């Protein structure tokens, strides 16, 4: 668990807590459609499978063996639905931060935005270290996703999104770079349901999380320390 105290981000200027909170709210609003989809996708599958089972029952009483496979699938979908709902809830109420392997965390962030990028004609390239290096999950989520959205919001049309994550000198170095595609792809009309994210939003979140980042033309670089538990272990009561 990370210590609970105010943090500032390296070279970034100190910003009031309200600035970080406003940036996090804007990020959450932008992710609303994606999170809603992730929450209901398994529930919709459960509903459809339940209708199929109900139709079979209405046609008669089939042998119990015919229900074993669909019921097993129903149980799996229910477990996935619970996991997805908890994952979405963690965006609204993060709770205690947990560590996650760098590669898994980056893949999780890219997976969250995949459908949006596909719709807009973006091509994603990634190069991620497979080292067993742990970072804070919430910090990575908020900074990497906000960086991806801020950079792509500034693009007038389809582009290539390149994400690089490497462990260098005991730190996770993450670079997000966006460049316009040169294959003549037509721009897909896109207007976010909430305001576009700005560089100031990403800076505010970075300052609150003590993460150093630099923005260049179409590029954001950040460094994250290894996630190390600082709170003493607690023994659960018997």
Q: What is the pLDDT of residues 109-130, one digit of tens each?
A: 999 999 889 988 899 999 999 9
Q: β-strand 159-168 against 219-225: which pairing, if any?
A: unpaired
Structure confidence by residue, pLDDT tens digits, 176-187: 999 988 776 666
Residue 235 resides in a domain? no
What is residue 2's predicted lDDT score, i.e. its pLDDT? 52
Cβ atoms of 1 and 227 closer than 8 Å:
no
Residue 4 resides in a domain? no
CA distances from 193 to 26, 133, 164 (A): 11, 36, 29
pLDDT(147) > 60: yes
Cβ atoms of 14 and 204 closer than 8 Å:
no
Structure confidence by residue, pLDDT tens digits, 3-26: 443 333 443 444 446 789 999 999
Last residue of a domain, one of 92, 123, 143: 92
Range(s) of the domain holding residue 60: 19-92
Structure confidence by residue, pLDDT tens digits, 217-228: 899 999 999 998
Indicate if 133 and 189 belong to the same structural domain.
yes
Angle at 138 between CA 135 and CA 143, to 5 degrees: 90
Q: d(Cα 26, Cα 205) in Å, to the nearest integer?
A: 11
**In this structure, what CATH number is given to the domain that contains residue 188?**
3.30.565.10
Residue 145 resides in a domain? yes
**Among residues of the chain, what percentage have pLDDT more than 70?**
86
């Amino acid at each position: 668990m990370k210590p609970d105290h105010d943090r500032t981000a390296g070279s970034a200027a100190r910003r009031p807590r309200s600035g970080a909170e406003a940036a996090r709210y804007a990020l959450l609003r932008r992710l609303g459609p994606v999170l809603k989809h992730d929450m209901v996708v398994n529930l919709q599958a459960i509903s459809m499978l339940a209708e199929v089972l109900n139709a079979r029952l209405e046609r008669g009483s089939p042998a119990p063996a015919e229900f074993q496979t669909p019921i097993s699938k129903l149980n799996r979908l229910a477990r996935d639905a619970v996991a997805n709902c908890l994952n979405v809830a963690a965006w609204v109420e993060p709770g205690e931060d947990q560590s996650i392997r760098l590669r898994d965390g980056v893949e999780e962030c890219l997976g969250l935005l995949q459908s949006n990028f596909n719709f807009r004609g973006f091509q994603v390239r990634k190069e991620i270290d497979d080292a067993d290096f742990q970072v804070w999950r919430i910090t990575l989520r908020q900074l990497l996703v906000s960086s991806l959205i801020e950079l792509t919001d500034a693009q007038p049309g389809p582009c290539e999104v390149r994400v690089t994550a490497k462990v260098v000198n005991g730190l996770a170095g993450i670079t997000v770079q966006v460049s316009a595609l040169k294959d003549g792809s037509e721009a897909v009309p896109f207007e976010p349901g909430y305001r576009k994210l700005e560089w100031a939003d990403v800076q505010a979140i970075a300052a609150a999380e003590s993460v150093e980042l630099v923005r260049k033309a179409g590029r954001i670089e950040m460094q994250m320390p290894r996630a190390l538990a600082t709170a003493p272990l607690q023994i659960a009561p018997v």
